[in-house]
Amino acid sequence: GGETYDYDLVVIGGGSGGLATAKKAANYGAKVALFDFVKPSPQNTKWGLGGTCVNVGCVPKKLMHYAGLMGPAMRDAKNYGWQLPEDTPGFNWSTLVEVVQNHVKMLNFRYRVGLKSAQVTYINALARLASPHEIVYERRGVEHKVTAGKVVIAVGGRPAYPAGVPGAKEYAITSDDIFSLDHSPGKTLVVGASYIALECAGFLTELGFDTTVAVRSILLRGFDRQSAEKIGEVMEASGTRFVKGAVPSSIEKQADGKLKVTLVDSTTGAHVMTETFDTVMYGTGRTPDTAALNLEAAGVTVLPNGKIPVNGDESTNVPNIYALGDCAMVDVNFMESHWANPELTPVAIMAGQLLAARLYGKGTDKMDYTLIATAVFTPTEYGAVGLSEEDALKMFGPQDVEVYLQEFSSLELQATKDVSHKDLDEENDMPPMCLSKLVCRKSEGERVVGFHFVGPNAGELTQGFALALKLGAKKADFDKLVGIHPTDAEAFCGLEITRSSGIDFVAAG
């Protein structure tokens, strides 16, 4: 209708969601420009095109997780007869960082090529809105402007440093810095009990670093409590130290470069301990990166937490402007999902692709934000889809919920445990590593509304079972399923012990 713009679509943010939206829209024939710009972290870490997932999230995290798993695997290897050198094998941090960063740089390159071949114009600048159809940016001190029929905001988020902790922003790193750290982290304090904090503490421990986690209240808020506690129990048994109910009150840099941290009780403020660390890493949540967007100039509503509220079709309150991914807050019926819209890469990608298909193709499907599976990549992983036991109880009431569960150890780990524990006392005994749990709603014929697994490869295992929940599987369907033996996953076929029975759910080892 009448007006012409420089572009049909301008996408702000070249991360998981933005790239997917831009490429898909261009495939449908739209004229698209994409802005991506990385503001350096307080510790001056920068990176290339691709957003959080590729540069400072999922990808480097999974590689370091994998490297970490080799530690216990090497110890097991000896028990299984591999003749390794007597000394614990040494670990070289800079080799790991080099491998990880080379892979990240390859992906950065691939994304640039991908935009080019999709004929998306890539603008490496920080964009902000001047009006609903005008986007401005600076290049070498000169202000430029482009106009767009539609705008998609996919700016993601950045790690949050709590205010009021002297030395935190000056000396502590976050997940923005850890994956490219140019020196070995050494003795490390991780602050926070988010999945990001625990994943990093997990691989640091397994790589051999003396690692402590300062937990303000509980582990993994929002996740199933029993599963979260299980993760804590297994991590603790593997050597991660937890200081519960504590937060740093100050971080001081000493003459020798080490960081002196004072931890205080998170409720009373009383002194808990003072100790020096080589590295302090904050994993205390993330802030949507919307402050610099000048949203008010376009009239886009923003919530006090910085998120942009959107409808189930990713539309904002301004008709031609959309938002998705970590910076958006979806207003849909949240039944049966952990969070409103989980901050996950595949969620941002699918939301973006479906939006592009609706705007420029013949698509009609909206993003389904329910029953999205997720995994915590701690050394012993945790996978979940659907409701936690607590949320199910809250939502349906205790009379309508039954929980089936079993704790056990993986066959292959149990076998080496028998060997390695010959001369270990009770106290060093490893707890069962695995927990299988189904949360069922009785009034729907025991439909499975929550699936939880703590154990090796939980991410892989949970992905498959998530389909069953999507298709409405009931407990009886899980019982009819014939297991693959010997696997950890087969524990889900025919779970017998119920929470209500009160029977001990820990399998005899």
Which partner in ligand NA7, ligand FAD, none is near 339 (CB below 5 to 8 A by kind)?
A: ligand NA7
Whether residue 421 lies in the annotated active site: no
Q: Tell which residue, 385, 49, 83, 61, has the closest CA to residue 201.
A: 61
Residue 196 in the binding site for ligand FAD (CB under 6 A): yes
Residue 286, classed as helix, strand or coil, is strand
How far is it, in rounded angstroms, from Cα 501 to Cα 306?
45
The reply to whether 196 sits in an annotated binding site is yes
Is residue 22 within 8 A of residue 115, CB to CB? The reply is yes
33 is in an annotated binding site: no
Among the listed residues 271, 338, 452, 485, the single catalytic one is 485
CB crowding 300-329: b at 16 or more within 10 Å, else e = bebeeebbbbbeeebebebebbbbbbbbbb
CA distance 160 to 164: 12
In the complex with ligand NA7, the residue whose CB is nearer, 21 or 374, is 374
* 285 counts as binding ligand NA7 under rule CB under 6 A: yes
Of residues 71, 156, 379, 456, which one binds ligand FAD by CB under 6 A? 156
Residue 252's contacts (CB-CB under 8 Å, 6 or more residues apart) are: 166, 167, 259, 260, 261
Q: Pick from ligand FAD, ligand NA7, none: which does 156 bind, CB < 5 to 8 A by kind? A: ligand FAD
Region 234-263 residues binding ligand FAD, contact defined as CB under 6 A:
none
Binding of ligand FAD at residue 51 (CB under 6 A)?
Answer: yes
The nearer residue to ligand FAD, 136 or 497, going by C-beta atoms, is 136
Q: What is the smallest separation between the CB atom of 194 and ligand NA7, expressed in angstroms? A: 3
Q: Residue 218 binds which entry of ligand NA7, ligand FAD, none, with Cβ cut-offs from 5 to 8 Å by kind?
A: ligand NA7
Four-point Cα dihedral 413, 414, 419, 423, nearest 10? 110
Position 344 contacts ligand FAD (CB under 6 A): yes
From 254-262, 280-288, 355-363, 431-439, span contacting ligand NA7 (CB under 6 A): 280-288
CB atoms within 10 A of CB 109: 13
The number of residues that bind ligand NA7 (CB under 6 A) is: 18
Please choose, out of 152-160, 261-269, 423-431, 446-454, the segment that lies near ligand FAD by the rule CB under 6 A. Answer: 152-160
Q: Is 194 marked within a binding site?
A: yes
Rg (CA), the chain: 24
Of the candidate residues 284, 337, 380, 409, the single one contacting ligand NA7 (CB under 6 A)? 284
199 annotated as a binding-site residue: yes
Nearest residue (CB) to ligand NA7, 135 versus 220: 220
Please give the DSSP secondary-structure letter assigned to residue 214.
Answer: E
CA pair distance 196, 207, nearest whole angstrom: 17
Site string (231-270) toward ligand NA7, x via CB under 6 A:
----------------x-----------------------
Tell whether 285 is in a known binding site: yes
Q: Are 43 and 173 in contact (CB under 8 A)?
A: yes
Coil, helix or strand for 298? helix
Q: Which residue has the tokens 């491998």?
A: 99
Rounded CA-CA distance 53/31 in Å is: 26
Write out the binding residues for ligand NA7, residues 343-372 only, by CB under 6 A.
343
CB closer to ligand NA7, 148 vs 344: 344
Residue 143: HSE in the Cβ half-sphere, 13 Å Cα cutoff: 7
Instruction: Name the token pair of 339.
Output: 């969070």
Q: Is the dihedral angle over the CA atoms 217, 221, 226, 232 positive or is it negative? A: negative
Calculate the CA 384 to chain-centre distance. Answer: 12
Site for ligand FAD in 5-44 (CB under 6 A): 12-18, 35-38
221 binds, among ligand NA7, ligand FAD, none (CB under 5 to 8 A by kind): ligand NA7
Amino acid type, 237: A
Handedness of CA 10, 12, 13, 17 (dihedral sign): negative
Residues 6+ apart with CB under 8 A from 426: none
The SS3 call for residue 258 is coil
Least Cβ distance, residue 376 to ligand NA7 (angstroms): 9
Is residue 170 annotated as involved in ligand binding? no
Tell me the binding residues for NAD(+): 192-199, 285
| Residues belonging to the active site | 485
User: Contact positions toward ligand NA7, by CB under 6 A?
Assistant: 162, 191-196, 216-218, 221, 247, 284-286, 339, 342-343
Tell me the binding residues: 62, 192-199, 285, 326
User: Contact positions toward ligand FAD, by CB under 6 A?
Assistant: 12-18, 35-38, 51-53, 56-58, 61, 126-127, 154-156, 175, 196, 289, 292-293, 325-327, 343-346, 348, 377
Tell me the binding residues for FAD: 62, 326
